[in-house]
Structure 1
Amino acid sequence: MTDSVPMTVLNASVLPAWVDHNGHMNVAYYATLFDQAFEAFFDVAGVGRDYSASHGCAMFVVESHFTYQRELNAGAPLTLRVQLIDRDRKRIHVFLELYHGTEQYLAATSEQIAVHVNLKSRKSLSMPPEVMENLSEILDAHYRIARPKEVGHKIGMRRKKPTLAAS
């Protein structure tokens, strides 16, 4: 039975080499960590490396969106969690959260969609029934979790409406 909370899929810490000239973790390493966390979720879902080797199929990320909420510094412990937002026969939609491991603040999020692909033909195809069953169990539990406000977030700059100058 899957818990009705986002799954912790990865624990790590900010390596000194990941810190940029601004004194905090560089964006490239957020992407690396979110990728590793999604890979860990693939294992839980039954479509990880072992599945790829035995079935000749894999999950390819086709869309992602990041938000950066608070800085992380060298040595900071990290916890990455994942919530399955949706799935269909070919795709997985997840929301990943990166927390400071001891202070428990949300540092960053990533929303991603991956598609199931045949590695030989490089074309998408339906996931097998056993994977769909596993994903359905996870999704049933994760539907009970509040939907994060960042899901489906549209990127853009908010502008104030110009005021009309008095004539």
Structure 2
Amino acid sequence: MEQSFSYQGTVLHEWVDYNGHMNDAEYNKAFSQATDAFIDHIGLDERTREVYDYTIYTLETHICYLQEMHEGSAFTVKGQIFDVDAKRIHLFLMMENEQGEAVATLEEMLMGIDRKEGRGAAFPNEVADKLTEMAERDAQIDRPKQAGRTIGIRRK
């Protein structure tokens, strides 16, 4: 089963560093652009954010770099919702190269924010319904092995 969200991009010239491959900060940029597209996809596009005076903030992220990407390389970012509640989304994004190989992953926690109050608030009903539908579909997909990882030096 395919994830219910995907985003496509290309590694730009200015994203390549002195090592000849995509710089780590640019993976963040690509994932940020994919997250913005995800937010639009769930029904919180620019117009809707204005209507509800509502937005989404990123609370936490974790990136794994798995393979190098080079200038001009096309990629697809696929999203999988791991969990959702009234105002939070636990989202996993996987970047794949043109061969469908995983090149990087990003796990993140997002929170819906009432801009008038400046704090967390429940998603608008239409958004909540879309998220529930997507989460139920995505629950049928296996979790990638990179999900839930922590940073640390493994000692033997």
Shorter-chain TM-score tier: over 0.9
Q: Is the 8 A contact 1:19 1:25 kept in 2?
A: yes
Instruction: Name 1:163's counterpart in structure 2.
Output: none
**Pairing 1:150–2:146 present:** yes
What is the CA deviation profile of residues 114-159 of structure 1, one whole-angstrom value per residue up to 9, with x for unaligned ones?
1011112211111122221111111111010001111111111112
Give the deviation of 1:77 after TM superposition: 0.8
User: Which ranges in structure 1 are unaligned for 5 or more consecutive residues?
Assistant: 161-167
Instruction: Name 2:73's counterpart in structure 1.
Output: 76
Show structure 1 runs of 4+ deviating over 6 A: none
Rg larger for: 1
Give the deviation of 1:8 after TM superposition: 4.6
- What is the TM-score normalised by the length of structure 1? 0.89
The separation in 1 between residues aligned to 2:4 and 2:129, in whole angstroms, is 18
What amino acid does structure 1 have at the position aligned with 2:114? Answer: N
Moved more, 125-134 or 84-93: 125-134
**Pairing 1:31–2:28 present:** yes
What is the CA deviation profile of residues 32-68 of structure 1, one whole-angstrom value per residue up to 9, with x for unaligned ones?
1111111111112112322211110101000000000
The separation in 2 between residues aligned to 1:154 and 1:117, in whole angstroms, is 27
Instruction: Name 1:10's counterpart in structure 2.
Output: 7
Q: Is the 8 A contact 1:8 1:79 kept in 2?
A: no
- Between the two proteins, what is the percent identity of the paired residues? 34
Instruction: Name 1:134's counterpart in structure 2.
Output: 130
What is the number of equivalent residue pairs in this alignment? Answer: 156
RMSD, aligned CA: 1.2
Instruction: Name 2:18's counterpart in structure 1.
Output: 21
The separation in 2 between residues aligned to 1:145 and 1:35, in whole angstroms, is 23
The separation in 2 between residues aligned to 1:36 and 1:50, in whole angstroms, is 18
- What is the TM-score normalised by the length of structure 2? 0.95
Instruction: Name 1:53's counterpart in structure 2.
Output: 50
